[in-house]
Amino acid sequence: MHIEPKKTMAVTVGPPIMYRFVIGELKKRDLADDHIIMSLERRMKCGIGKCGHCQINGVYVCQEGPVFTLAQLRNLREAV
């Protein structure tokens, strides 16, 4: 499949194990990290920042996400 990387945004939702493979394929097609969008909602529990279940290196997924670009997640080592 041919895509224009500078004009393409990819949104990924699904089980975390799938992300590794999808990201690999998107990177082969030269998509920039800020053009790959991922949902981390599976990490959430209470959804209001009280339980801390979704916290990744000080970032609460339920409050600051759950949607992030891959560029944002590169700084959160536990996320990717």
Question: Distance between terminal CA atoms of the chain?
Answer: 25
CB atoms within 10 A of CB 62: 21
Task: Please indicate, yes or no, if residue 78 is contained in any of the structural domains.
Answer: no
User: Is residue 80 in a domain?
Assistant: no
**Per the structure, how many domains does the chain have?**
1
pLDDT at 78: 65
Give the bridge partners for 11, in sequence order: 37
> What are 42-52's pLDDT values in tens digits?
777 888 889 98
Entry pTM? 0.82
User: Which tens digit of pLDDT belongs to each residue from 51-76?
Assistant: 988 888 888 999 998 999 999 998 87
DSSP string over 23-59: HHHHHHTT--GGGEEEE-GGG-SSSSSSS-TTEETTE
- Do the domain assignments include residue 43? yes
Report if residue 13 sits inside a domain.
yes
The parent domain of residue 32 ranges over 5-73
| Residue 37 domain flag | yes
> In the prediction, which pLDDT does 54 show?
87
